[in-house]
Amino acid sequence: MIDITTTQTFTFEVIATDGDARAGVFHTPHGDIPTPVFAPVGTQATVKSIMPRDLKSIPAPLILANTYHLHLRPSSELVKEMGGLHRFMGWDGPILTDSGGFQVFSLASINKIDDEGVTFQSHIDGSRHRFTPESSMKIQENLGADIIMAFDECPIPTDRMIVERAVKRTTAWAQRCRDAHPDDAVQALFGIVQGGVFPDLRAKSAEEIQAIGFPGYAVGGLAVGESKTEMYKTLDFTLPLMPADKPRYLMGVGEADDLIEATMRGIDIFDCVMPTRVARHGAALTPEGRVNVKKQIWARDERPIQDGCNCYACQNFSRAYIRHLHKADELLGYTLLSLHNITFLIRHMEQIRAAIINGTLSAYAKEFLDLYLHRT
Catalytically active residues are 98, 271
Beta bridge partners of 3: 14
Beta bridge partners of 217: 191, 248
DSSP three-state, residue 338: helix
Cα-Cα-Cα-Cα torsion 296, 297, 303, 308, nearest 10 degrees, comes to: -110
Distance CA 197, CA 150 (A): 21
Q: Are 187 and 225 in contact (CB under 8 A)?
A: no
Distance CA 174, CA 190 (A): 9
Instruction: Tell me the CA distances in angstroms from 305 to 272, 279, 283, 326, one per residue in order.
Output: 21, 12, 11, 13
CA 325 distance to own-chain centroid: 29
Distance CA 55, CA 231 (A): 30
Q: What is the DSSP string of 41-88?
A: B-TTSS-TT--HHHHHHTT-S-EEE-HHHHHHTT-HHHHHHTT-HHHH
Q: What is the number of alpha carbons within 13 Å of residue 187 lying toward its C-beta?
A: 28
